[in-house]
Chains A and B, each alone.
Chain A
């Protein structure tokens, strides 16, 4: 599983990365967390803002820090 965290590097983006990594560790699922900071790469996803989270190509959240429960729900499906 690949989880992308999109964001140039502000506090909310960093928090999102932290939440995602905590959820992955808690779940025990084999997942690679990739931080995408390049604005051109972010634009290609079509998201309106950041932070954004993409799980295996599916955009799960845009413009907000997800809860750990949300992330666990996405990766356990």
Chain B
């Protein structure tokens, strides 16, 4: 966090559900790999859920934000709404045709499908800075 001075346009916050199923962990793994590839940065959904002020305000102010939920329980979405953080880009893994189960041996093609969908969603959205 705060590793770079002066966050500029194109900075993307990624919040994933990271829940106790294959789709929750697919959301998390996609967020990790997107961060490693330089497409945005994974951030702490738990910090927002815990109402830690630095986390909540960061989510409100960031240029672009995507929430990746595993399933239709939509815990990530609910967490942001409870913290009064507007939902911008939003993705649900099961809507990509991936069935929810408790097999944590994640498939490479499923991780790639989630990453691709997240990129498509973010790139289709204008950043706040660009729209300002």
Q: Hey, which bits of chain A sit against chain B, CB under 8 A?
A: 6-13, 39, 42-43, 45-52, 57-64
Contact = CB atoms under 8 A, between A and B. Distances in A.
B113 interface: no
The 9 A-B residue pairs with the shortest CB-CB distance in the complex, in nearest-first order: A49-B7, A46-B54, A48-B58, A63-B7, A10-B5, A59-B57, A12-B6, A59-B53, A62-B61
A49 B58 contact: yes
Interface residues of B, number: 25
Contacts, number: 89
B29 interface: no
Interface of B: 1-7, 11, 13, 41, 43-44, 47, 52-63
A49 to B, nearest CB: 3
A47 B58 contact: yes
